[in-house]
Amino acid sequence: MGDLLSKFNLLDTEGKVKLLQYLESLLVKQGEDSFNYQLYKGKIQNVSIWEDVDVLLVEEAQKQINLIKPKSW
């Protein structure tokens, strides 16, 4: 940490301002990227659940589609 502070002190005023602005932008971005557990929980609770009947309907449709024979030329 001391190394960082000593390098910061070597910067001129404009360099210090730019560095502080860059650090601020990183902190803002970090706040935006942080994981929102409440939002995730709400989304995951709205995921649909397939019943066995739903799966059987899809499998039956798959069997019927597989029976289709394409026309030959």
Does some domain include residue 34? yes
Residues of the chain with pLDDT under 50: none
Q: Measure the CA–CA gap between 40 and 49, rounded to whole angstroms.
A: 17
Q: What are the helix and strand counts (H, E) for the chain?
A: 4, 0
Number of domains present in the structure of the chain: 1
- What is the 8-class DSSP label of residue 20? H
CB-CB contact of 58 with 65 (8 Å): no
In a domain, 73, yes or no: no
How much is the pLDDT for 55? Answer: 92
Report CA 47 to chain centroid distance, whole Å: 17
CA distance 15 to 21: 10
The model's pTM: 0.42
- Position 19 scores a pLDDT of 92
Residue range(s) defining the domain that contains residue 61: 2-66
In a domain, 22, yes or no: yes
What is the pLDDT, as a whole number, of residue 33?
A: 64
> pLDDT value at position 4?
86
Is 72 contained in some domain?
A: no
Of 5, 31, 29, 3, residue with least CA distance to 16: 5
